[in-house]
Amino acid sequence: MKFFLLFVEKMLSSSSVTSSSNLIVFFTFIMIMASCFLFQTNQAQQIILPKNITIPAVIAFGDSVIDPGNNNNLQTLVKCNFHPYGRDFMGGIPSGRFSNGKIPTDFFVEELGIKEFLPAYLDKTVKPLDLLTGVSFASGATGYDPLTSKIASVLSLSDQLSLFKEYIEKLKQIGGEERTKSIIAESLYVTCVGSDDLANTYPFRRNNYDFPAYTDLMIRSASKFFQELYRLGARRIFVLDVPPIGCMPSQRTLGGGEERKCAEEDNQAALLFNSKLSSLINSLNKKLPQSKIIFVDIYQPLLDIIQNPHSYGFEEAKDGCCGTGKLEVSILCNDLVPVSCPDDSKYLFWDSYHPTEGVYRVLSATLLREYISRIF
């Protein structure tokens, strides 16, 4: 960089830079050097792992927050492989991510220096070698409660584990038995589940369960899921808790009154579940040898962004970008519904339920740096 600055200073003071041909050469050189500098800066932002520690892959399970397109191949209405979804993703490709661009697991693999984005396991364009560095089994609108996935006709956690078993066999065919064991044991697993249970399924369960009883049902399912994932070889697991769902635009509309405040009942349910999830994880770490199951708090960081948007460079925290921003999500956010915001980088939410790429970028960088050292 010092050489670059000295060269620029010399060229600017030289009469040789006045000809048009030399100007072209000069500015071409500047662009090349600037690109190299930006690349080096971006590389420097990647997570530096301790010596002799590797994370060969990221493997994800969960719901729409980390579904990169598995629902594209299912007979369900919960899809988003159409415009305007993905308008900021790789040239405007509606990949099936429930956002305008990248989602958290994409930023995780990018910051860990593994690859540019984490693909869906059911994506037919995924090549065998892509499997070695990880995939996502997540399915939008699923939950810990088995009823949640049935209502939406999407992959349950049990279905996702079945696909994971299939994935392991494919890894053995590609890289052999020993390499597969290493990948499965050393990979970072990311799970994000629970929002759809509380926001969408609980109303169907309300006659038989109050919130404490329903969150107990969710915890029993979660315990079974994590123990089965451990049995299949997973050791390093990030468990994202339930965000402040009452502050999502849709929940503000449905339960926030005329002023569309955060729906406190939803947020209290999320906090209740999160406290039980944290206790479950502490218990599992004591029970399962060599396990590193990490409770990752996204509730408070996201709530802070929602309550203080300008501190993070955002302007709109109550409405989504698509349509009115109050109810549109999935098939209701389509080409027939105008995208109301010309600049989605100023918005916290893309549709009425899912954050924008900008929010995911901020959250993912913060969470990865805070929690990554705990899995070693």
* 8 A C-beta contact, residue 367 and residue 298: yes
The helix/strand/coil state of 239 is: strand
Rounded to whole angstroms, what are the CA distances from 91 to 88, 109, 291?
6, 20, 40
DSSP 322-373: BTTSSS--GGGSSTTS-B--S-GGGEEESSSSSB-HHHHHHHHHHHHHHHGG
Distance from C-alpha of 344 to C-alpha of 340, rounded to nearest angstrom: 9
Distance from C-alpha of 328 to C-alpha of 305, rounded to nearest angstrom: 22
Strands in 193-266 per DSSP E:
236-240
Rounded to whole angstroms, what are the CA distances from 276 to 46, 197, 282?
33, 15, 10
Distance from C-alpha of 192 to C-alpha of 170, rounded to nearest angstrom: 24
Distance from C-alpha of 82 to C-alpha of 333, rounded to nearest angstrom: 9
* Token pair 């109301």 in the structure block, residue: 340
Distance from C-alpha of 63 to C-alpha of 51, rounded to nearest angstrom: 33
How many residues appear in the chain? Answer: 376
Strands in the chain per DSSP E:
58-62, 188-192, 236-240, 292-296, 316-320, 347-349
Distance from C-alpha of 59 to C-alpha of 49, rounded to nearest angstrom: 18
Distance from C-alpha of 8 to C-alpha of 207, rounded to nearest angstrom: 73
Distance from C-alpha of 221 to C-alpha of 219, rounded to nearest angstrom: 5
Active-site residue set? 64, 351, 354
Amino acid code (one letter) for 255: G
